[in-house]
Structure formats: structure tokens, C-alpha cells
Amino acid sequence: MCANFVDQIAAKMYEKLRGIVLWTIKYSDKHNIVHIYTDGRGRMAFAVPQGNTRGARMRNAMLMPLSLVSLEARISAGRELATLHDLQRTYPLMSLYSDPAKSAVAMFMGEVLSHVIVEQESNRALYRYIEATVMALEELERGTANFHICFLYHLGAHLGIQPDVGTYSPGAWFDMDGGVFAPAPSGGSHWMRPAEAEALHLISRMTFRNLHLFRFSREQRNQVLDTMLDYYRLHNSTLGTLRSPDVLKQLFI
């Protein structure tokens, strides 16, 4: 009876989860902290030992940004860091890491998600969106230059900040504070001019299947990205300063 009780307690300490790797940071000379967004517990942080063994190199390869994995998490009450066990890749990402353009987009996605996802609770709709987005990027054959724009726009729906495109009409301004379009600015201090508002409305029609149909110059795409990030920062104070957008701005023409 005592042995069965011990087995039951041990089983509860480990939980099987699916996850999406967000970001890895160096914690000490011996450990890294890996942030993984999981299907069952939201965002989690794991202490992962460093090393140069074959096993450590294989594990690190599976912990690249946006890797789709299954794992067992050992969760201890009162501890912020969980322990990672039985890590397995669930979906191979070949072109995402070998294609420089896709790798840059993946870095951007991982950095954005690391900032805006803070909840430690399950949100399966958001998890499915991110998982599907990663798979779409891996399989993408054309339109990579617009992928991050499409990702950022539709992510807003899961964060509760997607613009209300139903309020759009030609020549309208966009109220960045309220998330709606209006015939003219009235109060508030954050408005998109009609040309920018029209571009935002156009982007709302983007999907991962029609990216190649949208033509932007480098200047236009960069302006759209800056404006969308400003909009995110108005509604999500955790976004802060990002490093990856500068890479994207130089990469895509």
C-alpha cells in the first residue's frame, strides 16, 4: 500500500504536455532557462542543463525557437522552474531553420510571443493558432516577406486587440486606442491617417495562403510593421523593445 501511494505521488509530479519553444536565455554557467508555451499549462519556464555531449546537442537542436515538441514536465509546488523530461520533436522543421528568411521570421515570432504571452494557464485556441502558424511557415513556398505581418495581425484576435474592420469605410481614420475606424479623428492622441488605415484594412484580408498576392515596397512593409508594433504596445505594455524587427527590415526588399 505504501509503495502504491509513493507511485501515485510520483506520477502526479510529471505531466505530459505539448509545447512550442519560445526563447532560451542563459541562466548560469551550467543551466539555460527555456520558455515553452504549452497546451495544458500556458507559458512555462524550464531549467535545462548545458553541455557538449551528443545528448545535449540533440536536446538543444529540439529547443530552437518555435520547435514543436512533446515533453514531460516535473512540476514542484512553490518553484517557478519546472524540470524537462522525455523531450521529443512532434513536427520536423527543416526549411524553417535552413532558409535565412524563414529563420528571421521565426526569430521575430518567438520574440514577440515571449513578450506578449505571460499567462500560466491553458489557452488552447491560442496554442492551436501558434502551432498552425509554425507549420504554415515551414510549408510556405512564396510570400515569406509578408508572413510576419500576417502573423502579427491575426495574433491580435487571440489577444483581444484585433481591429474592428467592420467599422471601415474608404477615407476613414483608425483609432488606435479604441481599435475602430472613424470618419475623422475625435479625441485621443493615437490615430492612423487614411492611407495607413487603408493599408491596415487591406492586411486584414491576408491569410497564409494568399501572402504572395500582396505587394509592398520595403519602405511600405517596414512602415506597416512599425505601425502594428506601436498598436501592440498601446494595448500590451509587456511588448517593449524588440531586436528582431531590424533584421526583417534589412532582409526583405
pLDDT by residue (tens digit) across 60-105? 888 899 999 999 988 877 678 888 888 999 999 999 999 999 999 9
d(CA 36, CA 247): 23
The residue type of 60 is N
Q: Which CATH architecture has domain 93-163+204-253?
A: Up-down Bundle (1.20)
d(CA 189, CA 175): 9
pLDDT grade for 3, boundaries at 50, 70 and 90: low
Q: How many C-beta atoms lie closer than 10 Å to residue 177's C-beta? A: 14
Q: Would you identify the CATH topology of the domain 1-91?
A: OB fold (Dihydrolipoamide Acetyltransferase, E2P) (2.40.50)
Nearest to 63 by CA among 107, 99, 96, 23: 23
DSSP state of 172: -
pLDDT grade for 4, boundaries at 50, 70 and 90: low
Sorted by where each begins, the domain ranges of the chain are 1-91, 93-163+204-253
Read off the pTM: 0.88
- List the Cα angle 194/196/200 in 5-degree steps: 110
Q: Tell me the pLDDT tens digit for each residue of 19-42.
A: 999 988 887 777 889 999 999 999
d(CA 6, CA 2): 6
d(CA 183, CA 191): 11
